[in-house]
Amino acid sequence: MFTQSEPELQAELIEALNKDFILFAGAGKGRGVLGWPILNPDEKVYIDLVVKARQPLIDIGFINKPFGIEVKAPDTGRKVFDMGFQLLSYRLSRFELRNGPEELAFILSYPRLKLFDEKDGLILERFLTRWRIGWCELTKYGWEISASAGQYYARRGYNDELKMTSQKNYPLITQRHGNYKGSKHRVSHGNGA
């Protein structure tokens, strides 16, 4: 179980990701990056981090679009479904970036939801994968980006290796329509600018 506060978790995550990702600063004075829900643009939301892969990651196939990360300490008493709803609301929002409001390619939680509640967290992670929501984990050797379908990318620090571990139709980077299994109507959100 994590014993760090949210600011400590966020600092740890930023340090681990800084080598491979560009971090966008939030305009919310410590509240994160400002966004607006697509279905209710009069409301405001703030996601903790918006990041984009640096060129070495893009060169091995990482999506060339910004994505978001929400950091929560599992011991805050926050219910796992509240956290899931928050992640989904970010997925359905546009965030203020350099070129104006932009929808994020996918959303990650840090740490993963199963640490909030083992049973319900795993069920929720599986559901949220269909909405291009996954998680980031820090490992002994670096970081991993995953979803219930498996690992997407990882940095293996022991030999400074960047590793792509996904298939082209990985749920974090592919919008699926219709039945999740076997749907023939997929829209790729691959390496576009």
Residue 141: partners with Cβ closer than 8 Å, 6 or more residues away? 155, 156, 157, 158
Q: Give one word for 182, left, alpha or beta, with left for phi > 0 and alpha for psi -120 to 50.
A: left
Q: Which domain holds residue 106?
A: 6-188
Is 75 a domain residue?
yes
Q: Please write the tens of the pLDDT for every residue from 113-131.
A: 888 778 888 888 888 888 8
pLDDT over threshold 90, residue 56 = no
Number of domain units in the chain: 1
pLDDT over threshold 70, residue 172 = no
Average pLDDT (139-163) is: 73
Name which of 94, 113, 112 is nearest 104 in CA terms.
Answer: 94
pLDDT over threshold 70, residue 11 = yes
Q: Please write the tens of the pLDDT for every residue from 21-42.
A: 998 865 445 678 999 999 998 9
Is 193 a domain residue?
no
Is 12 a domain residue?
yes
Is 139 a domain residue?
yes
Model confidence at 150, in pLDDT bands (50, 70, 90)?
confident
| Under 8 Å between Cβ of 94 and 35 | yes
Q: What is the pTM of this model?
A: 0.81
pLDDT of residue 30: 63
Is 42 a domain residue?
yes
Longest Cα–Cα distance of the chain, Å, equals: 48
Is 25 a domain residue?
yes
